[in-house]
Structure 1
Amino acid sequence: MNLLLLGATGRVGRYILEYALADGHTVTVLVRSPGKLEEYVLKYGRQLQIVRGDATRPEDVTRALEGGVAAVISALNTDGTTTLSVNMALLIRLMQERSVARLITVGTAGILQSRIEPGLYRYESSETRRRSTRAAEEHRRVYELLRDSVLDWTIVCPTYLPDGERTGIYRVEKNVLPEGGSQITTADTADFTYRQWESREYIGVRVGIAY
């Protein structure tokens, strides 16, 4: 199976890449700095297909989608810009043109519904202590683009993301953060995200994930 992975050099993306390659899948990655993935090239060879480019450039995203991609997984970071929303608008259009329906992306718990103020996103409510809402607002734009699309999408929404090992043991809940959840490691976030490409359980929803 050929999977397209965006954000493969990031904290969550590297784990997703490792899991997919270890399972024998072909993985196409769109990256600006291919040298960061040299260890994976040496270990997995042609199983890893690298497209050098920028996720906000239509021609680069188009090249990355070539070759019979079955699903797209995005672990892109917000990086303080509009990269996420620009890329998502491109993905929605280009995936529809190529009849690629399945998209899984990593968001943030800030765009889940608030438990105590259900009419608000968590980042708008008293549930969050974050002073800056810039990243959450960019993730919200991504969610709203996907919500209005015809893709089979899932947004994985982790809370605080420390580094740590994969346990495979965590709680998930549709559209809200599991009650009392305060953290989830990058490796376990990647574990759940990666598993969704072949699952239909969370189509069209945000999924809160925490221990």
Structure 2
Amino acid sequence: MNMLVLGASGRVGRHIVARAIQDQHTVTALVRDPNKLQLDDQHLHVIQGNVLHKQDVERAMANVDVVVSALNTDGSDTLSTSLPLILEVMTQQHVKRIITIGTAGILQSRVTPSIYRYQSTESKRKSTFAAQEHQRVFEQLQQSELDWTIVCPTYLPDGALTGSYRVERDFLPEEGTQISVADTADFAYKQIFSQEFLKTRVGIAY
């Protein structure tokens, strides 16, 4: 399997890359600063570039089978601005599968299912900027013809891989309060080889 991982130097992305090369898949990582990745393997191809530059995305996406985006907001609109470029290049390259890391804020509220969690009393966050960015990504994916899955973790502390967690389509599992970076990456990685959650958001928590 040939994979493109965006956000490969981030907390979740680094775990996904490590898992993929451990399983001897070919991974291309598009990163602004290769030094931050701190991984070296014969199965890993690092391309220095910017996800906001179409030519960089085109170079990185050559001959890949699946795209995994672990990009975060970084207080900017990189998520929503880069996605149209990513989707355009995926269409050009005939790549159908994309897995993204979202946030539990864009899952439906259990209290008021007609709205998102970040818009409801369930959300404890004062700032809604990141959730709004992830909402824009969700809406763009919904309008696409791609086979997408958005993995939506709640509070993300560092922690060991347990492989034991709960997932639920469109909602955060009841009373879920956290999920480790490693377990989030584990579930996202498994979606590369699964069709169970195509075209849906998936809440994940312990």
Q: TM class, shorter-chain normalised?
A: over 0.9
Cα distance in 2 between the residues matched to 1:202 and 1:6: 20
Cα distance in 1 between the residues matched to 2:147 and 2:132: 22
What SS is found at the alignment partner of 1:73?
strand
The one-letter code sitting in structure 2 at the alignment partner of 1:161 is: L
Per the normalisation by structure 2, the TM-score is 0.98
Cα distance in 1 between the residues matched to 2:59 and 2:105: 32
1:53 to 42, 45, 49: 49
Cα distance in 2 between the residues matched to 1:102 and 1:187: 22
What SS is found at the alignment partner of 1:189?
helix
Cα distance in 2 between the residues matched to 1:102 and 1:132: 31
What SS is found at the alignment partner of 1:118?
coil
1:37 is displaced (CA, Å) by 2.8
Unmatched runs of 5 consecutive residues or more in structure 1:
none
Q: Which runs of 4+ in 1 moved over 4 A?
A: none
Per the normalisation by structure 1, the TM-score is 0.96
Show the 5 A alignment for 1:169-208.
169-208=164-203
What residue is the counterpart of 2:2 in the other structure? Answer: 2
Show the 5 A alignment for 1:85-104.
85-104=80-99
What SS is found at the alignment partner of 1:198?
coil
Q: Does 1:166 align with 2:146?
A: no
**RMSD, matched Cα:** 0.7
Show the 5 A alignment for 1:4-153.
4-38=4-38, 40-41=39-40, 44-45=41-42, 47-66=43-62, 68-153=63-148
Query: What's the % identity of the aligned pairs?
Result: 57
Unmatched runs of 5 consecutive residues or more in structure 2:
none
Cα distance in 2 between the residues matched to 1:177 and 1:147: 19
Cα distance in 2 between the residues matched to 1:3 and 1:53: 17
1:93 is displaced (CA, Å) by 1.1
